[in-house]
Amino acid sequence: MKKVLIAVDDTRGTTAVLKVFDNLVRPPEEVILLHVQRLEGRSLMIDMLGEAELATLRESLEGTEYKEELDRKAEKILAHYKRELSTRGLFHIRTICRDGIPSEVILKVAEEEAVDFILAGCNGKRGFDRLITGCVSRDLELGASMPVIVAKPAVGAHAGSPAAAHPGTLVLKEEF
């Protein structure tokens, strides 16, 4: 295995990816940490925007306090996971920050970088919440042309608790 893409954000599901990464049979030569900024915040509006509208939104946010805060947050998230992974072995770590619809951006970067597989966390949304806001990890499982490992936090784990770092379930999508 040469190259792995790890999608990271500030949810408790992402903390589970570290435990899954530790359990890989052989560490990769290169890890790409990818954080996707949601320009519209928690709004569902982004799923209705086309590329032209997203470009206009990007342009209108450039240089604003909101965009600067998004950039600081992304930098902090990527630095945290880079620090965590750098203690785990001898491999090259690159960080990438993009904006847009998370599942689409992750799949696009995975194809561009020709990664061997994608590792992502699951935020644990259920029921109506998942129906309304969707699920990035599910979209990755359905849309990826390469294997996807979805790390889920332990049942009952809360953000920041030690149990949140231990995956309860792995979902592996492989196509032969």
- Backbone φ, ψ for residue 155 (5° rounding): -60, 130
Pick the CATH number of 3-173 from 3.40.50.720, 3.40.50.620, 2.30.30.100, 3.30.450.20: 3.40.50.620
- Backbone φ, ψ for residue 123 (5° rounding): -80, -5
Domain locations in the chain as residue ranges: 3-173
25-82 pLDDT, tens per residue? 788 999 999 999 887 765 556 666 777 887 888 888 889 998 999 999 999 999 999 9
* 10-24, 36-50, 76-90: the lowest-pLDDT one: 36-50
pLDDT at 170: 40
Q: What is the C-alpha separation between 87 and 109, in angstroms, rounded?
A: 25
106-141 pLDDT, tens per residue? 999 999 999 999 999 886 655 554 444 457 888 888
Task: List 7's β-bridge partners, or say none.
Answer: 34
